[in-house]
Structure 1
Amino acid sequence: MFTTERKLPEELLYYRALNYRASLDKDSYDRKNRLERGFTGEQKYDEILDQTGHQNMYIFRDIYLNIGGSITQYDALLITESGIAVNEIKNFTGEYRVEGSSWYTGNYILPDDAPSQLRRAAGKLMRLRQKLGYDFAVTGKLIFPDENFHLYSREENLWNQVVLRSEMGDYFRSFENEYSGEFASKLADLVEQHIVANPYFKLGVEFGSIRNGLYCGGCGSFYLKKQYFHFACQSCGSRESTETHLVRAMSDFKYLFGSARMTTKRIMEFIGEMVDYRTVFRALNKYCYAEGRRKSTHYKFKYYDFDEAMRKEIPGRKYKDYLK
């Protein structure tokens, strides 16, 4: 069973919001594309695992664990009575070859090879096992979910670690005889106790350095026309409620400006004053936690991101969205 939700990485949410409101330089553009590709691979992994079945194990996805003062990110942990299986998901595409400990794509050498990352991740769990005196197995696999990934290597030990797209179903079915009893539950509790927030997300831009206003959720255009309770996109014809636009602005604000305080005045500036003050005030009090009093009041977005807010709030919303 899935015990944690797979969410868009914070860094990707930052770059997505920035991409709408500014021109990304080459490094930022490339970084955004790598993050997009990585997340797509994780979604493929989840889909295949879901199809195969996973009710007999605990599954943690996209978590950070603090073990011995060192923080490590895990794409997926599969926990059964036998122990913990680390799955490192690599959504590579194209042809790769391995010579010794070096990984190549064309003539380019990857700066950090996948097996080393897997060993480090598994090693941290082994240290935790040793520290607590638990007796459980720690295994690991490199998962490559892209159908167009091709790997060439004469390293026999490497193939014992690799699971290609065509092999993923068989790999997941290898857990069919496992089960999640009392010991697996203790291991899941142990993992949960060591989960921490992502400590590495430090990105942010200066307020006022990017484009203000509202943009279409369908095509990204800022060319919108105000209607009674909606904005109509003049580029693609989509219509989204004013509330939807404000929620998107709150989520963008959260990821673009780091620790900057979200106030009514700041949000008004951020959206280019395209919505009246009272509507913005109501939306902030609905979708955010208010902190401070009177002139010092500022807001903290209740949700992880725009998508989570929409999933949880749309059923009770009066005005619908019409995306083309």
Structure 2
Amino acid sequence: MDMMEMTDMSYMINRMERTNETKRKKSDQLKILESLNSRTHLAHAQQQYMINLQKGFEGEALFDKLIQNYLGTDRECLQDRLITYNGSTAQIDALILIGNTLNLYEVKNYEGEHQQLSGHFRRLKGQEFICPSIQLNRTEKVLRQILSQWTETFEVHSYVIFVNPAFTLYDAKISDPFILPTQIRKHFEKLKKNQTQSSKECIRLINKLQSESRSGEKYRGTPQNYAYEDLRKGLICSNCHSFNLKLTQRQAICRDCGEQRKNDRLLLSHIDELTLLFPETKLTTALVYDWIDGKLIKRRIGRLLHSLS
């Protein structure tokens, strides 16, 4: 295999790795909070934090759908990555390579009417918070510092994109790096029009950023303390987290939302949940049986655990 073939193979491997990451997954932190919210009482602050994480995840999933609809799958993209330079760490929601230009996005799923003040946003109900362009500027600064070590030939365009159609912003300036809901279509149609083949140098850059960054998952904190004996046991709907399930011989049906799931698949999700909540605990048939409150027979549990070992 010559050097060109090796380079092409390396590109394909990195492309496949990024493609496998295209569909965003809930962070472990969000999954833990949702589990605890179903099985115990979350403090109000933790509930609000969970809701914010849920809205953030929903916004990023909506953004991904926009990218898919307008740009298809044949594009270079990094999602939910942490970059670090000289001790400064920043999180990239999305970085899309179009031609030889890097498009950096801070994705927001805000809802309702907001006003932009000096360095702040204010909900019309009165709550103020830091303007998202400040976080965007920080991320762009770290990204440019990293790029300056490798190359000087890339343009970086940075945006805060508001994906929720129910969002309204007053007092925004034309010079602000904002993509409002009514501007999304025009923005991505323009990108699509400029969607030319990226140079090998650009592709190498994306591969390098992929390999030298890390998942944003590790950047997130830990929820409140909890103990096994304090958590409610039983089977939970994977969609709405309700305990109100109807079990048949083959599947579980949620009486609240109608979600249907094969029993083995549902059981596997509860094993994953138990492992996530208590990673140091050894899984046994008896433990899993207790965790699901005996809703499925031990023989099924043992068989599934054996297949995972």
TM-score class, shorter-chain normalisation, is 0.7 to 0.9
- Out of 94, 99, 119, the position equivalent to 1:101 is 119
Q: For the structure 1 residues 135 and 238, does the alpha-carbon distance in structure 2 shift closer, same or farther, using more than 3 Å as the test?
A: closer
Q: State how far apart, in whole Å, the 1-side matches of 2:263 and 2:206 are.
A: 42
Kindly provide the CA deviation profile for residues 91-145 of structure 1, in whole angstroms up to 9, marking residues without a partner as x: 11111112222221122210x3201100011111111012234431222001011
Report deviation, 1:217: 4.2
Q: Deviations over 1:287-324 (max 9, x none)?
A: x4x3xxxxxxxxxxxxxxxxxxxxxxxxxxxxxxxxxx
2:158 corresponds, among 133, 137, 140, to: 140
* 46-55 or 227-236, which deviates more: 227-236
Q: Using the TM superposition, give the Cα deviation of residue 185 of structure 1 relative to its aligned residue in structure 2, in angstroms.
A: 0.9
- Are 1:80 and 2:98 an aligned pair? yes
2:177 paired with 1:169: no
Deviation at 1:54, TM superposition (A): 4.2
1:196 alignment counterpart: 214
Gaps of 5+ in 2: 1-14
> 2:271 aligns to what?
250
Deviation, structure 1 residue 147: 1.4
CA contact (8 A) 1:56 1:178 kept: no
After superposition, what is the alpha-carbon deviation per residue over 1:1-41, rounded to whole angstroms, capped at 9, x for unaligned? 97432112222211222222123332122122212222222
The 8 Å contact of residues 59 and 77 in structure 1, kept in 2 or not, is answered as yes
Q: Distance in 2 between matches of 1:183 and 1:103?
A: 39
Is 1:85–1:139's contact at 8 Å kept on the other side of the alignment?
A: yes
Q: How many residues align?
A: 284
1:89 maps to what in 2? 107
User: Using the alignment, how far apart are the partners of 2:255 and 2:74 within structure 1?
Assistant: 51
Distance 2:244 2:151 in 1: 61
- Contact 1:7 1:62 (C-alpha < 8 Å) held by counterparts: no
In the alignment, the residues of structure 1 paired with residue 255 and residue 181 of structure 2 have an alpha-carbon distance, to the nearest angstrom, of 42
Distance 1:186 1:210, change over 3 A: same
1:30 corresponds in structure 2 to 48
* Partner AA of 1:173 in structure 2: E
Contact 1:224 1:232 in 2 (8 A): yes
Question: CA 1:206–1:138 in structure 2 vs 1: closer, same or farther (change >3 Å)?
Answer: same
Identity of aligned residues (%): 22
Separation in 1 of the partners of 2:89 and 2:141?
Answer: 12
1:260 aligned residue: 280
Deviations 1:222-272 (A, max 9, x none): 355665444566777876443133112122223323x32341143233222
1:219, distance to aligned residue in structure 2 (A) = 5.7
Which structure 1 segments of 5+ residues have no match? 291-324
Aligned residues: CA RMSD: 2.7
Alignment correspondent of 2:75: 57
Contact 1:100–1:155 at 8 Å: present in 2 too? no
- Cα shift at 1:88: 0.5
Q: With structure 2 as the length reference, what TM-score do the two structures score? A: 0.80
- The secondary structure found in structure 2 opposite 1:174 is helix
With over 3 angstroms needed to count, the CA separation of the structure-2 counterparts of 1:191 and 1:243, relative to structure 1, is: same
Superposition map of 1:272-287 within 5 A: 272-286=293-307
Aligned residue for 2:159, secondary structure, equals: strand
1:52 CA drift (Å): 1.4
The separation in 1 between residues aligned to 2:172 and 2:252, in whole angstroms, is 59
Instruction: Please state which structure has a larger fraction of its residues in helix.
Output: 2
TM-score for both structures, normalised by structure 1: 0.77
Amino acid paired to 2:128: I
The 2-side partners of 1:217 and 1:133 are apart by 46
Correspondence list, 1:285-300, <5 A: 285-286=306-307, 288=308, 290=309
Q: Is the 8 A contact 1:79 1:187 kept in 2?
A: no
